[in-house]
Protein backbone atom coordinates (compact mmCIF):
# COMPACT_ATOMS: atom_id res chain seq x y z
CA UNK A 1 0.00 0.00 0.00
CA UNK A 2 1.20 3.46 -0.87
CA UNK A 3 -0.31 6.85 0.01
CA UNK A 4 0.41 10.19 -1.59
CA UNK A 5 -0.94 13.62 -0.68
CA UNK A 6 -1.49 15.49 -3.96
CA UNK A 7 -2.81 18.82 -2.67
CA UNK A 8 -3.79 20.48 0.59
CA UNK A 9 -6.63 22.97 1.00
CA UNK A 10 -5.23 26.46 1.75
CA UNK A 11 -8.29 27.15 3.95
CA UNK A 12 -8.27 23.96 6.07
CA UNK A 13 -6.30 20.77 6.75
CA UNK A 14 -8.21 18.89 4.05
CA UNK A 15 -5.87 16.95 1.81
CA UNK A 16 -6.56 15.40 -1.54
CA UNK A 17 -4.62 12.20 -1.96
CA UNK A 18 -4.46 8.82 -3.55
CA UNK A 19 -4.24 5.51 -1.72
CA UNK A 20 -2.72 2.86 -3.92
CA UNK A 21 -3.37 -0.75 -2.98
CA UNK A 22 -2.55 -3.99 -4.74
CA UNK A 23 -6.19 -4.02 -5.90
CA UNK A 24 -6.46 -0.52 -7.28
CA UNK A 25 -6.23 3.06 -6.17
CA UNK A 26 -8.63 5.21 -4.20
CA UNK A 27 -8.95 8.97 -4.32
CA UNK A 28 -9.07 10.42 -0.82
CA UNK A 29 -10.77 11.63 1.26
CA UNK A 30 -12.99 8.62 0.63
CA UNK A 31 -15.95 6.89 2.22
CA UNK A 32 -15.88 3.08 2.48
CA UNK A 33 -19.12 1.09 2.20
CA UNK A 34 -19.78 -1.26 5.12
CA UNK A 35 -20.62 -4.89 4.39
CA UNK A 36 -20.48 -6.17 7.97
CA UNK A 37 -21.17 -9.82 7.14
CA UNK A 38 -19.51 -9.78 3.69
CA UNK A 39 -22.44 -8.02 2.05
CA UNK A 40 -23.45 -4.37 1.82
CA UNK A 41 -27.04 -5.14 2.80
CA UNK A 42 -29.23 -5.65 -0.26
CA UNK A 43 -26.66 -4.34 -2.77
CA UNK A 44 -24.69 -6.15 -5.47
CA UNK A 45 -21.02 -5.22 -5.98
CA UNK A 46 -22.11 -3.29 -9.11
CA UNK A 47 -24.62 -1.32 -7.02
CA UNK A 48 -21.85 -0.48 -4.54
CA UNK A 49 -19.45 0.57 -7.30
CA UNK A 50 -22.15 2.77 -8.86
CA UNK A 51 -22.26 4.83 -5.65
CA UNK A 52 -18.64 5.87 -6.10
CA UNK A 53 -17.40 3.70 -3.19
CA UNK A 54 -14.06 2.13 -4.04
CA UNK A 55 -13.37 0.29 -0.78
CA UNK A 56 -15.65 -2.13 1.04
CA UNK A 57 -15.34 -3.10 4.66
CA UNK A 58 -16.26 -6.25 6.55
CA UNK A 59 -16.13 -7.20 10.18
CA UNK A 60 -13.87 -9.97 11.38
CA UNK A 61 -15.87 -10.68 14.55
CA UNK A 62 -19.10 -11.20 12.60
CA UNK A 63 -17.39 -13.32 9.92
CA UNK A 64 -15.87 -15.53 12.63
CA UNK A 65 -19.38 -16.16 13.92
CA UNK A 66 -20.96 -16.71 10.52
CA UNK A 67 -20.01 -18.24 8.07
CA UNK A 68 -16.61 -18.78 9.77
CA UNK A 69 -13.07 -17.95 8.63
CA UNK A 70 -12.38 -21.53 7.44
CA UNK A 71 -15.40 -21.41 5.19
CA UNK A 72 -14.44 -18.05 3.59
CA UNK A 73 -10.86 -19.26 3.15
CA UNK A 74 -12.08 -22.42 1.41
CA UNK A 75 -14.02 -20.29 -1.08
CA UNK A 76 -10.83 -18.42 -1.96
CA UNK A 77 -10.87 -15.57 0.56
CA UNK A 78 -13.07 -12.60 1.20
CA UNK A 79 -12.60 -10.94 -2.21
CA UNK A 80 -13.86 -14.09 -3.97
CA UNK A 81 -16.67 -14.58 -1.44
CA UNK A 82 -17.91 -10.98 -1.78
CA UNK A 83 -17.34 -10.84 -5.55
CA UNK A 84 -15.39 -7.62 -4.95
CA UNK A 85 -12.04 -7.29 -6.72
CA UNK A 86 -11.28 -3.76 -5.44
CA UNK A 87 -9.61 -2.69 -2.19
CA UNK A 88 -11.09 -4.10 0.99
CA UNK A 89 -10.72 -3.44 4.71
CA UNK A 90 -11.55 -5.71 7.61
CA UNK A 91 -11.95 -4.39 11.13
CA UNK A 92 -10.88 -6.33 14.15
CA UNK A 93 -13.95 -6.74 16.31
CA UNK A 94 -12.65 -4.13 18.73
CA UNK A 95 -15.77 -2.06 18.27
CA UNK A 96 -17.92 -5.04 19.24
CA UNK A 97 -16.07 -4.95 22.58
CA UNK A 98 -17.82 -1.64 22.99
CA UNK A 99 -21.16 -2.16 21.23
CA UNK A 100 -21.85 -5.62 22.68
CA UNK A 101 -20.60 -4.57 26.10
CA UNK A 102 -23.09 -6.69 28.03
CA UNK A 103 -21.96 -9.84 26.27
CA UNK A 104 -18.27 -9.92 27.02
CA UNK A 105 -15.45 -9.65 29.48
CA UNK A 106 -12.13 -7.99 28.65
CA UNK A 107 -8.92 -9.33 30.17
CA UNK A 108 -5.26 -8.83 29.24
CA UNK A 109 -5.49 -12.05 27.23
CA UNK A 110 -8.27 -10.75 24.98
CA UNK A 111 -12.03 -10.34 24.74
CA UNK A 112 -14.24 -13.16 25.95
CA UNK A 113 -17.59 -13.32 24.20
CA UNK A 114 -20.13 -15.99 25.04
CA UNK A 115 -18.97 -18.34 22.29
CA UNK A 116 -15.67 -16.85 21.21
CA UNK A 117 -12.35 -15.57 22.56
CA UNK A 118 -10.82 -12.74 20.54
CA UNK A 119 -7.10 -12.29 21.09
CA UNK A 120 -4.78 -9.90 19.21
CA UNK A 121 -3.12 -12.97 17.65
CA UNK A 122 -6.28 -14.69 16.44
CA UNK A 123 -7.63 -11.44 15.03
CA UNK A 124 -4.46 -10.94 12.94
CA UNK A 125 -4.52 -14.59 11.87
CA UNK A 126 -8.20 -14.39 10.84
CA UNK A 127 -7.59 -11.24 8.80
CA UNK A 128 -4.55 -12.72 7.08
CA UNK A 129 -6.71 -15.66 6.04
CA UNK A 130 -9.62 -13.45 4.94
CA UNK A 131 -7.14 -11.54 2.76
CA UNK A 132 -8.36 -7.92 2.98
CA UNK A 133 -5.90 -5.25 1.84
CA UNK A 134 -6.19 -3.04 4.93
CA UNK A 135 -6.44 -4.77 8.32
CA UNK A 136 -6.93 -3.63 11.92
CA UNK A 137 -5.55 -4.77 15.27
CA UNK A 138 -7.71 -5.66 18.27
CA UNK A 139 -8.25 -2.69 20.57
CA UNK A 140 -10.33 -1.74 23.57
CA UNK A 141 -12.79 1.07 22.86
CA UNK A 142 -14.33 2.87 25.82
CA UNK A 143 -17.63 4.77 26.02
CA UNK A 144 -17.93 8.57 26.12
CA UNK A 145 -18.57 8.51 29.89
CA UNK A 146 -15.52 6.36 30.76
CA UNK A 147 -13.40 7.77 33.60
CA UNK A 148 -9.78 8.80 33.16
CA UNK A 149 -8.65 5.63 34.98
CA UNK A 150 -10.80 3.38 32.74
CA UNK A 151 -9.52 5.18 29.65
CA UNK A 152 -5.88 4.91 30.75
CA UNK A 153 -6.19 1.22 31.46
CA UNK A 154 -7.91 0.57 28.08
CA UNK A 155 -5.14 2.55 26.39
CA UNK A 156 -2.43 0.54 28.10
CA UNK A 157 -4.11 -2.68 27.04
CA UNK A 158 -4.58 -1.44 23.46
CA UNK A 159 -0.84 -0.60 23.31
CA UNK A 160 0.14 -4.05 24.62
CA UNK A 161 -2.23 -5.70 22.14
CA UNK A 162 -0.69 -3.61 19.33
CA UNK A 163 2.77 -5.04 20.11
CA UNK A 164 1.33 -8.57 20.17
CA UNK A 165 -0.44 -7.88 16.84
CA UNK A 166 2.84 -6.80 15.23
CA UNK A 167 4.55 -9.95 16.51
CA UNK A 168 1.70 -12.18 15.31
CA UNK A 169 2.03 -11.17 11.67
CA UNK A 170 3.06 -13.82 9.17
CA UNK A 171 2.56 -11.91 5.92
CA UNK A 172 3.57 -8.42 4.87
CA UNK A 173 1.32 -7.81 1.87
CA UNK A 174 -1.55 -6.40 3.94
CA UNK A 175 -1.41 -2.95 5.54
CA UNK A 176 -1.92 -3.33 9.30
CA UNK A 177 -3.06 0.06 10.64
CA UNK A 178 -2.29 1.21 14.18
CA UNK A 179 -5.42 1.90 16.18
CA UNK A 180 -5.46 5.16 18.13
CA UNK A 181 -7.81 5.47 21.10
CA UNK A 182 -7.67 7.81 24.11
CA UNK A 183 -11.32 8.37 24.98
CA UNK A 184 -12.50 11.88 25.75
CA UNK A 185 -9.16 13.17 27.07
CA UNK A 186 -7.09 15.53 24.96
CA UNK A 187 -3.73 14.55 26.48
CA UNK A 188 -4.48 10.81 26.29
CA UNK A 189 -5.47 11.17 22.64
CA UNK A 190 -2.17 12.94 21.93
CA UNK A 191 -0.17 10.40 23.89
CA UNK A 192 -1.85 7.47 22.07
CA UNK A 193 -1.23 9.14 18.69
CA UNK A 194 2.44 9.76 19.50
CA UNK A 195 3.11 6.22 20.66
CA UNK A 196 1.33 4.77 17.62
CA UNK A 197 3.34 7.07 15.33
CA UNK A 198 6.57 5.86 16.94
CA UNK A 199 5.92 2.39 15.46
CA UNK A 200 5.69 3.81 11.87
CA UNK A 201 2.57 1.90 10.74
CA UNK A 202 1.27 2.25 7.14
CA UNK A 203 -1.90 3.95 8.40
CA UNK A 204 -3.74 5.13 11.50
CA UNK A 205 -7.26 4.11 12.47
CA UNK A 206 -8.85 6.64 14.82
CA UNK A 207 -11.28 4.81 17.07
CA UNK A 208 -13.64 5.64 19.91
CA UNK A 209 -15.09 8.75 18.28
CA UNK A 210 -18.79 9.38 17.75
CA UNK A 211 -19.68 7.13 20.71
CA UNK A 212 -22.20 9.54 22.22
CA UNK A 213 -20.09 12.66 22.82
CA UNK A 214 -21.10 16.11 21.48
CA UNK A 215 -19.79 16.88 18.00
CA UNK A 216 -17.74 19.87 19.20
CA UNK A 217 -15.80 17.51 21.44
CA UNK A 218 -15.34 14.99 18.59
CA UNK A 219 -13.82 17.76 16.46
CA UNK A 220 -11.53 19.01 19.27
CA UNK A 221 -10.25 15.51 20.11
CA UNK A 222 -9.81 14.67 16.45
CA UNK A 223 -7.80 17.84 15.97
CA UNK A 224 -5.58 16.91 18.94
CA UNK A 225 -5.03 13.42 17.50
CA UNK A 226 -4.26 14.55 13.96
CA UNK A 227 -1.78 17.16 15.29
CA UNK A 228 0.42 14.32 16.55
CA UNK A 229 0.34 12.18 13.41
CA UNK A 230 2.86 12.27 10.55
CA UNK A 231 1.37 14.03 7.49
CA UNK A 232 2.39 11.41 4.92
CA UNK A 233 0.38 8.54 6.46
CA UNK A 234 -3.36 7.99 5.86
CA UNK A 235 -5.84 8.54 8.70
CA UNK A 236 -9.04 6.56 8.92
CA UNK A 237 -11.84 7.78 11.19
CA UNK A 238 -13.96 4.82 12.20
CA UNK A 239 -17.73 4.95 12.36
CA UNK A 240 -18.58 8.39 10.93
CA UNK A 241 -20.85 8.59 7.87
CA UNK A 242 -23.14 11.61 7.89
CA UNK A 243 -22.29 13.76 4.82
CA UNK A 244 -21.88 16.96 6.86
CA UNK A 245 -19.66 15.15 9.40
CA UNK A 246 -17.37 13.48 6.87
CA UNK A 247 -16.74 16.82 5.14
CA UNK A 248 -16.20 18.55 8.48
CA UNK A 249 -13.68 15.94 9.63
CA UNK A 250 -12.02 15.70 6.20
CA UNK A 251 -11.30 19.39 6.70
CA UNK A 252 -9.41 18.41 9.87
CA UNK A 253 -7.20 16.07 7.82
CA UNK A 254 -9.00 12.70 7.82
CA UNK A 255 -8.60 10.61 4.65
CA UNK A 256 -10.88 7.57 5.10
CA UNK A 257 -14.28 7.04 6.68
CA UNK A 258 -16.74 4.20 7.16
CA UNK A 259 -20.14 3.85 8.78
CA UNK A 260 -23.32 1.82 8.48
CA UNK A 261 -25.29 5.09 8.68
CA UNK A 262 -26.03 5.67 4.94
CA UNK A 263 -27.36 2.15 4.36
CA UNK A 264 -29.04 1.78 7.77
CA UNK A 265 -30.90 5.07 7.29
CA UNK A 266 -31.80 4.04 3.74
CA UNK A 267 -33.32 0.77 4.92
CA UNK A 268 -35.41 2.62 7.48
CA UNK A 269 -36.71 5.06 4.87
CA UNK A 270 -34.58 8.16 5.47
CA UNK A 271 -32.86 9.67 2.48
CA UNK A 272 -30.53 12.65 2.30
CA UNK A 273 -31.90 15.28 -0.07
CA UNK A 274 -28.81 17.51 -0.20
CA UNK A 275 -25.05 17.27 0.38
CA UNK A 276 -25.47 18.61 3.94
CA UNK A 277 -27.49 15.53 4.79
CA UNK A 278 -30.95 17.07 5.25
CA UNK A 279 -33.24 14.09 5.85
CA UNK A 280 -36.43 13.26 4.01
CA UNK A 281 -38.68 10.54 5.50
CA UNK A 282 -40.13 8.22 2.88
CA UNK A 283 -42.70 6.88 5.38
CA UNK A 284 -44.58 10.19 5.48
CA UNK A 285 -47.72 10.27 3.39
CA UNK A 286 -46.77 13.69 2.04
CA UNK A 287 -43.68 12.10 0.39
CA UNK A 288 -46.03 10.26 -1.99
CA UNK A 289 -46.93 13.57 -3.61
CA UNK A 290 -43.34 14.68 -4.26
CA UNK A 291 -42.11 14.64 -7.82
CA UNK A 292 -38.49 14.87 -9.00
CA UNK A 293 -35.39 13.07 -7.75
CA UNK A 294 -34.41 12.44 -4.09
CA UNK A 295 -31.67 15.06 -4.57
CA UNK A 296 -31.54 17.53 -7.44
CA UNK A 297 -28.49 16.79 -9.59
CA UNK A 298 -27.87 13.30 -8.17
CA UNK A 299 -26.92 10.81 -10.88
CA UNK A 300 -27.50 7.62 -8.87
CA UNK A 301 -29.89 5.06 -10.34
CA UNK A 302 -32.63 5.92 -7.81
CA UNK A 303 -32.58 9.59 -8.82
CA UNK A 304 -32.27 9.06 -12.57
CA UNK A 305 -34.99 6.39 -12.86
CA UNK A 306 -37.49 7.02 -10.01
CA UNK A 307 -39.32 9.98 -8.47
CA UNK A 308 -39.40 10.58 -4.71
CA UNK A 309 -43.12 9.72 -4.74
CA UNK A 310 -42.64 6.35 -6.43
CA UNK A 311 -39.80 5.35 -4.06
CA UNK A 312 -41.96 6.46 -1.10
CA UNK A 313 -44.82 4.30 -2.42
CA UNK A 314 -42.46 1.30 -2.70
CA UNK A 315 -41.17 1.97 0.81
CA UNK A 316 -44.67 2.23 2.27
CA UNK A 317 -45.52 -1.14 0.66
CA UNK A 318 -42.34 -2.55 2.33
CA UNK A 319 -40.91 -3.45 -1.10
CA UNK A 320 -37.23 -4.55 -0.93
CA UNK A 321 -36.42 -2.38 -3.94
CA UNK A 322 -37.07 0.76 -1.89
CA UNK A 323 -34.43 -0.27 0.67
CA UNK A 324 -31.95 -0.90 -2.13
CA UNK A 325 -32.65 2.40 -3.93
CA UNK A 326 -32.47 4.45 -0.71
CA UNK A 327 -29.19 2.73 0.29
CA UNK A 328 -27.59 3.34 -3.11
CA UNK A 329 -28.70 6.98 -3.02
CA UNK A 330 -27.42 7.69 0.51
CA UNK A 331 -24.03 6.12 -0.25
CA UNK A 332 -23.89 8.29 -3.36
CA UNK A 333 -24.63 11.44 -1.34
CA UNK A 334 -21.65 10.80 0.98
CA UNK A 335 -19.39 10.08 -2.00
CA UNK A 336 -20.62 13.22 -3.79
CA UNK A 337 -20.11 15.38 -0.67
CA UNK A 338 -16.48 14.23 -0.46
CA UNK A 339 -16.05 14.60 -4.20
CA UNK A 340 -17.24 18.21 -3.94
CA UNK A 341 -14.77 18.83 -1.09
CA UNK A 342 -11.92 17.32 -3.15
CA UNK A 343 -12.82 19.39 -6.22
CA UNK A 344 -12.74 22.59 -4.17
CA UNK A 345 -9.17 21.88 -3.07
CA UNK A 346 -8.04 21.14 -6.60
CA UNK A 347 -9.76 24.35 -7.74
CA UNK A 348 -8.03 26.40 -4.99
CA UNK A 349 -4.59 24.99 -5.69
ZN1 LIG B 1 -29.56 9.74 -5.83
pLDDT beyond 80 at 178:
yes
Distance 339 CA to ligand 1 centre (A): 14
The pLDDT of residue 308 is: 98
Distance 54 CA to ligand 1 centre (A): 17
DSSP state of 288: G
Distance 271 CA to ligand 1 centre (A): 9
Mean pLDDT score of the chain:
96
pLDDT beyond 80 at 322:
yes
Average pLDDT over residues 159-181: 97
pLDDT classification of 95: cutoffs 50, 70, 90: confident
Q: What is the dihedral of CA 225, 227, 228, 234, to 10 degrees?
A: 80
Cα dist from 145 to 97, 150, 151, whole Å: 16, 10, 10
Give residue-wise pLDDT tens across range 257-271: 999 999 999 999 999
The pLDDT of residue 78 is: 98
Question: Residue 4 contacts by C-beta under 8 Å, 6 or more apart in sequence?
Answer: 17, 18, 20
Q: 109-114, long-range: CB within 8 Å, 24+ apart, which pairs?
A: 110/138, 110/161, 111/138, 111/140, 113/61
Distance 327 CA to ligand 1 centre (A): 9
3-class SS at 290?
coil
Give residue-wise pLDDT tens across range 335-344: 999 999 999 9
Give residue-wise pLDDT tens across range 206-242: 999 999 999 999 999 999 999 999 999 999 999 999 9
pLDDT beyond 70 at 39:
yes
**Cβ distance 120 to 164 under 8 Å?**
yes
3-class SS at 49?
helix
Residues with a known catalytic role: 91, 258
Q: In what order do the strands lie in the sheet with 175-176?
A: 175-176, 134-135, 88-91, 56-59, 30-34, 256-259, 235-238, 204-206, 178-180
Distance 337 CA to ligand 1 centre (A): 12
Phi-psi region of 141 (alpha: psi -120 to 50; beta: other; left: phi over 0): beta
**Cβ distance 186 to 224 under 8 Å?**
yes
Distance 47 CA to ligand 1 centre (A): 12
The pLDDT of residue 349 is: 65
Least confident of 91-105, 119-133, 191-205, 333-347: 91-105
pLDDT beyond 80 at 84:
yes
Give residue-wise pLDDT tens across range 110-156: 988 888 889 999 999 999 999 999 999 999 989 999 999 999 999 99
Amino acid sequence: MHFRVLATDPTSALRVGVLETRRGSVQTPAFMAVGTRASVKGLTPDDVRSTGARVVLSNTYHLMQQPGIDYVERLGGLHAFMRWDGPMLTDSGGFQVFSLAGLREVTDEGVHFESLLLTPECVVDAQERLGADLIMPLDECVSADASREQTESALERTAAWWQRSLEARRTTDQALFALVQGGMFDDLRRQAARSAAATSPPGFALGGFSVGEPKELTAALLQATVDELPPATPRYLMGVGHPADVVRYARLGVDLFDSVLPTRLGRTGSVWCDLNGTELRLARRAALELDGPLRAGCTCVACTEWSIGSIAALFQSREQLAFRLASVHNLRVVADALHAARSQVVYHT
